[in-house]
Amino acid sequence: MIKSIYADSDNTIYEKTGSLNAGIDSVLELTKISSSAGIHSSRILIKFPLDEVSSSVAAGKINNPRFYLNLYQAGTSEVPREYTLIAYALSQSWDEGSGRRLEPTALNLFDNLASSWIYRDKQATSIEYIAARDTQWTSRSLADGSAMVFNSVTGGGTWYNDYYGTQSFEHESADLRMDVTPAIQYLLTGSRDNDGLIILRSGSQETDSTNYGSIQYFSRQTNTVYQPRLEVVYDDSSFDSSGLSELTSDQSVVYIKNLKHEYSTKEQPKIRVVGRDRYPTKTFSTQSNFKTIKFLPTSSYYGVKDAITEEFIIPYSNQGTKLSCDSSGNFMKLEMSSFMPERYYKLCFQVTQSDSSVVVYDENFYFKVNR
């Protein structure tokens, strides 16, 4: 299973503008720009609701999950060919805010004073807020010995130094699919608060004097399908092919028996996948060989694409999208809450044969997800 969780808070905090909030901007931005005024960076704060996942892990419904942070590139400027990004588990709470970077007007000044480079929330109002030191990012030692890092006297967030994920880029798209399992697992541990993640450049790339340009990602405020999401990937497959024969020919047909045209986001259907020989051997039988159901090899996986963009929403995965099997044939389970509503999607399948050849079935298996 690959379950997608969409962000419930995100923001970019800018070193140069100090207390400015950009909580409802349609993009998130990682910058490191050198100018006559010095070098100024920005970092990304993002949080996903984890209560349901935490309960499922505790109840044994989800075992050994991996977590992948997905952000989609909206634009880049002066970005080097090689760089590394890192995401830490945040160690203090923060408010998303309702400000915009390019609209710091006096009218919404105090609404803008939620999370920023200096401040992390808005617990006071007006002048009281300016003097409220407990709303700033602050460094302190933790009882469990974990390091809470405070990188600058002027702010920039605090995080658990030992719990993070990284992703390196080299001559490729800036789209992010980062394994953040250590950070998310730490946030799920015990009674620890889920304060989300902070994304920045790794190591010396964050602290040296080099200009690393700007990377923009779509935020949760975007009007596109590219909202930030956290993938929860785990193996929920089971395989019992008793009474069935394996489909071994590459001249075969795969179809779906019970695919509906439309689903709601609350549904979790069990979808039947059937395989048969395209040209079955003729035999003396009272039953058509075309009706003989065979199971697909154990190394068979499903994927889900956006019907318009043709991009994978659920990619083929050894851990997360393995087809199951029982006495009635292959099947899979989908959580429709993982998909953006009011859009069409397409199911496809990847099968590795016994001779290691790979066959892809990308037919017209379309469905729509409604609110």
Containing structural domain, residue 47 = 2-233
Contacting residues for 225 by C-beta, under 8 A, at least 6 apart: 306, 309, 340, 343
Residues 14 and 59 in one domain: yes
Instruction: Note the pLDDT tens digit of each residue in 184-231.
Output: 999 998 778 899 999 999 888 887 888 889 999 999 999 888 999 999
Higher pLDDT among residues 92 and 107, named by residue: 92
The total domain count for the chain is 2
116, two tokens: 């920023």
**pTM greater than 0.85:** yes
Instruction: Note the pLDDT tens digit of each residue in 47-69.
Output: 999 999 999 999 999 999 999 99
Residues 249 and 229 in one domain: no
Contact 213, 262 (CB under 8 A): no
Instruction: Note the pLDDT tens digit of each residue in 276-312.
Output: 777 656 666 655 555 677 899 999 999 999 999 999 9
Instruction: State the chain's mean pLDDT as an integer.
Output: 86
Residues 227 and 310 in one domain: no
Residue 103 lies in a domain: yes
Q: Which of 204, 233, 262 is the last residue of a domain?
A: 233
Residues 93 and 187 in one domain: yes
Residues 26 and 159 in one domain: yes
- Round the CA-based radius of gyration of the chain to a whole number and report it: 24
CATH classification at residue 318: 2.60.40.1930
Burial of 326 (0-12, 13-18, 19+ CB in 10 A): middle
**Would you state the pLDDT for residue 290?**
54
CA 28/CA 48 separation, integer angstroms? 15
Distances (CA, A) of 356 to 262, 297, 299, 353, 359: 35, 11, 10, 5, 10
Q: Which of 184, 212, 233 is the last residue of a domain?
A: 233
Residues 250 and 125 in one domain: no
Residues 14 and 128 in one domain: yes
Residues 187 and 281 in one domain: no
Half-sphere exposure of 9 (CA within 13 A, CB side): 20
Residues 166 and 42 in one domain: yes
Residues 169 and 258 in one domain: no
